[in-house]
Amino acid sequence: RMVTASFLTKNLMIDWRKGEQWFWDTLVDADAASNPFSWQWVAGSGADAAPYFRIFNPELQAAKFDPDGTYVRQWAPEYAGDEAPEPIVDLKATRDAALAAYEAVKNSR
């Protein structure tokens, strides 16, 4: 969930509320007290936004936590083989853009 939230808000620059709403409508364990705050925290826009600069890399997370690809093969099999779709964004470029945007906000005070 955190990798997804980070990718949506920081790499794709989608408003955290869109992701939170989709998770709310889709997941069975939605919680009105924690969902919005968790999404704000990951997006770096909440009351405790100290780790705003933390941007999870989905490829590194997969290598670390799913090294043999079991999870990916089960839940996203199109990404498990040699014929995987092309990435929709350049992770480094979008990371750099997100960090630049946060820096601009930080310096605008």
Class of domain 2-107 (CATH, top level): mainly alpha
Handedness of CA 12, 13, 18, 23 (dihedral sign): positive
Q: How confident is the model at residue 72 (pLDDT cuts 50, 70, 90)?
A: very high
pLDDT reading at 93 higher than 70:
yes
Are the C-beta atoms of 35 and 23 separated by less than 8 Å? yes
Site of tokens 């990951």: 42
8-state DSSP, 7: I
Q: pTM for the whole thing?
A: 0.87
pLDDT, tens digit, for every residue of 14-48?
A: 999 999 999 999 988 888 888 899 899 899 887 77
d(CA 17, CA 13): 11
Domain positions in the chain: 2-107
Going by pLDDT thresholds of 50, 70 and 90, the confidence category of residue 49 is low
Q: Show the tokens assigned to 22.
A: 């989709």
